[in-house]
Chain A
Amino acid sequence: MSINIKNVDYSYNKNTQLETRVLENINLTIDKNEFVGITGKIGSGKSTLIKLFNGLFVPDNGYVHVDRVDASDKKTRKKVGLLFQNPHEQLFSKTVYEEIAFAPSNFGIKGDDLTERVHESLHLVGLDSKITDMSPFKLSGGEMRRVALAGVLAMKPEYLILDEPTSGMDIKGKKELYSNLKRIHSTGACVIIVSHQIDDLLPVVNKIVLMDDGKMTFAGTPSEYLENISSPVPEITQLMRGLRSKGFNVRNDVLTVDDAYGQIKNLLTKK
């Protein structure tokens, strides 16, 4: 069970003067049991890439297969849950309940099953069940994003793809989101996150993909990433590498503040 991307090119505005090649010769395999981070500079093609995963875009060359079936096949839409950048801009229903029920009911879920899914997803994103009757437009920006996320979670996708889910979130919100995503991953779903914030990604994912100007320049585990890529790396990694180059005996693959704290403390007590 995996998403397979083979020799994929993609251009916008095909066959017009404005044609621009945005993705070039992408080869990538994402296994169902992975937790994947996709990162890269602005405009490097991350959002375009993930729209190929659920068949919204069809590659010019090459193919995208989801569980050995072409991504443009009807069945993949249901398997692959995709949350766009700025998802609060797609809310449209009269109530939060209807908003979250939209996707599952489109895929034929009804009755008690549907209600249960709505409440479950609300819980996963840390919202209170009391708000189901409220208008989604009355919520705060952060709450709207969570409702939109719940709307995709309610599909119970086998592959969950989120485009910049943490933008506009406070630190606490981010922590909660990541721990919820880990929980979803542990239930057997594949989670793919697009983010600029490599500091947040590296500690949680087990595969990281780096995009640069439409090309994939790296794909591998976080430790492989730290061995091969000098930038971008998390700030705390940079700091520890700086210390190391000054002769302090610390590791050069530190990813979290806790880890760094432990090492520095060690140094100090040794002295």
Chain B
Amino acid sequence: MHSFFFNYVPGNSLIHHLDPRTKLLAVMVASIFIFNAETFLELVTIAGFFVIIAFISGVNYSIFLKSLRPMSLFFIFLFFIQLFLSEGKPIFTIGFINPTYEGLITGLQITTRFIFLILFASILTATTQPVMITSGIERLIRPLPLKYIGVSSFDIATMMSLSIRFIPLLFDNAKKIQYAQMSRGMDFKNNIFKSFSSVAVPLIMSTKRTAQDIAIAMESRCYQGIYRTSLFELEMKNADWIVLLGISIMVLLFMFLI
């Protein structure tokens, strides 16, 4: 099934009950920390924070680890790019291939940072329903003067929730088309190029068609991209203010300690 993106895991933890805005801000702050982390100790501290927050969320650790899987090729690529292309003391040299110690260190550093980034983001997606994430983002960007570039924060929110809604649809559809073509003898082993296009072309066509249908359905129900009251009104509670206070204290401490 489509279990690898935005896999919300229902729960009743403190983290689940926080306002999405609080969680979004926390993830932003966490990413700033992550990208400033250089030493081993700093990285370990961040890992510690992740373990604790993940524990509080009550979501099984394996869910977070699974969210890394689709990105694993990217991580490997990132690591090897650093390893082979950094200047420094070579570990060994074969022809023009020379991994360096400096490359090894930065490679590990950068890859670890990206892994942490995904892990923290996956706490957000695991504990927050996609519609709540979108309304959180919508609320956060509402004060921005977006109307000068021709969109409103509601347009952006609508686009985001529509894209999220399309992901499982896309997977189901791809599966269905693949079965249909397999019934016509399609076999990826025979002619990979033709097999690929026999799934990709109908998939793109049908997605385009669905998108058009949705647009027409929205317009015929008077969608205008202006302010709409929401089914889920966001509300900052005490817990949110406490968490935000905690985050601010940490940021201040960090700035003065460095």
Kindly report which residue of chain A lies nearest to residue B194, judged by CB atoms.
A102
Q: A78-B185, A103-B184 are in contact. Are A90 and B177 (CB under 8 A)?
A: yes
Return the CB mask of B191-203 against A: 1 if under 8 Å, else 0.
0001001111110
The verdict on B180 contacting chain A, using a C-beta distance below 8 Å, is: yes
Chain B nearest Cβ from A127, distance in angstroms: 18
* Chain B residues within 8 Å of A90, by CB: 177, 180-181, 184, 198, 202
The verdict on A169 contacting chain B, using a C-beta distance below 8 Å, is: no
Partner of A77, one of B176, B177, B185: B185
**Which B1-43 residues have C-beta < 8 A from chain A?**
1
* Chain A residues within 8 Å of B205, by CB: 89, 91, 137
* Chain B residues within 8 Å of A32, by CB: none
B182–A56 touching, CB < 8 Å: yes
Q: A16-B1, A56-B179, A84-B179 are in contact. Are A106 and B202 (CB under 8 A)?
A: no
A82–B185 touching, CB < 8 Å: no
B202–A151 touching, CB < 8 Å: no
User: A83–B183 Cα gap in the complex (Å)?
Assistant: 8
* Chain A residues within 8 Å of B190, by CB: 106
The verdict on B87 contacting chain A, using a C-beta distance below 8 Å, is: no
Q: A16-B1, A106-B190, A137-B205 are in contact. Are A51 and B179 (CB under 8 A)?
A: yes
A106–B177 touching, CB < 8 Å: no
Chain A nearest Cβ from B216, distance in angstroms: 17
B185–A106 touching, CB < 8 Å: yes
The verdict on B247 contacting chain A, using a C-beta distance below 8 Å, is: no
User: A245–B206 Cα gap in the complex (Å)?
Assistant: 50
The verdict on B155 contacting chain A, using a C-beta distance below 8 Å, is: no
Partner of A87, one of B1, B179, B180: B180
Kindly report which residue of chain A lies nearest to residue B3, judged by CB atoms.
A16
The verdict on B213 contacting chain A, using a C-beta distance below 8 Å, is: no
* Chain B residues within 8 Å of A214, by CB: none
The verdict on B186 contacting chain A, using a C-beta distance below 8 Å, is: yes
Chain A nearest Cβ from B201, distance in angstroms: 4
B198–A151 touching, CB < 8 Å: no
User: A54–B176 Cα gap in the complex (Å)?
Assistant: 15
A107–B182 touching, CB < 8 Å: no
Q: A51-B179, A84-B179, A102-B198 are in contact. Are A89 and B186 (CB under 8 A)?
A: no
Chain A nearest Cβ from B1, distance in angstroms: 6
The verdict on A209 contacting chain B, using a C-beta distance below 8 Å, is: no
A106–B186 touching, CB < 8 Å: yes
* Chain A residues within 8 Å of B202, by CB: 89-92
A77–B182 touching, CB < 8 Å: yes
B197–A82 touching, CB < 8 Å: no
B183–A81 touching, CB < 8 Å: yes
Q: A91-B202, A137-B205 are in contact. Are A151 and B177 (CB under 8 A)?
A: no
The verdict on A13 contacting chain B, using a C-beta distance below 8 Å, is: yes
* Chain B residues within 8 Å of A77, by CB: 182-183, 185
Kindly report which residue of chain B lies nearest to residue A74, judged by CB atoms.
B187
A92–B180 touching, CB < 8 Å: no
The verdict on A18 contacting chain B, using a C-beta distance below 8 Å, is: yes
Chain A nearest Cβ from B117, distance in angstroms: 29
A151–B179 touching, CB < 8 Å: no
Chain B nearest Cβ from A18, distance in angstroms: 7
Kindly report which residue of chain B lies nearest to residue A12, judged by CB atoms.
B1
* Chain A residues within 8 Å of B206, by CB: 89
Q: A82-B183, A103-B184, A107-B185 are in contact. Are A92 and B1 (CB under 8 A)?
A: no
**Which A58-111 residues have C-beta < 8 A from chain B?**
77-78, 81-84, 87, 89-92, 102-103, 106-107
User: A107–B187 Cα gap in the complex (Å)?
Assistant: 10
* Chain B residues within 8 Å of A81, by CB: 183
* Chain A residues within 8 Å of B180, by CB: 84, 87, 89-90
The verdict on A152 contacting chain B, using a C-beta distance below 8 Å, is: yes
User: A235–B96 Cα gap in the complex (Å)?
Assistant: 81
The verdict on A155 contacting chain B, using a C-beta distance below 8 Å, is: yes
* Chain B residues within 8 Å of A102, by CB: 184-186, 194, 198
B184–A152 touching, CB < 8 Å: yes
User: A153–B6 Cα gap in the complex (Å)?
Assistant: 42
Interface positions of B (Cβ within 8 A of A): 1, 176-177, 179-187, 190, 194, 197-202, 205-206
17 contacts between A and B (CB under 8 A): A51-B179, A77-B183, A78-B185, A83-B183, A84-B176, A84-B180, A87-B180, A90-B177, A90-B180, A90-B181, A90-B202, A91-B202, A92-B202, A102-B186, A103-B184, A152-B184, A155-B184
Told that A90-B177, A90-B180 touch, could you supply 18 new A-B pairs with CB distance under 8 A? A13-B1, A16-B1, A51-B179, A56-B183, A77-B182, A78-B185, A89-B177, A89-B180, A90-B181, A90-B202, A91-B202, A102-B185, A106-B185, A106-B187, A106-B190, A151-B184, A152-B183, A155-B185
Among all A-B residue pairs, the 5 with the closest Cβ atoms? A106-B185, A92-B201, A103-B184, A82-B183, A90-B180
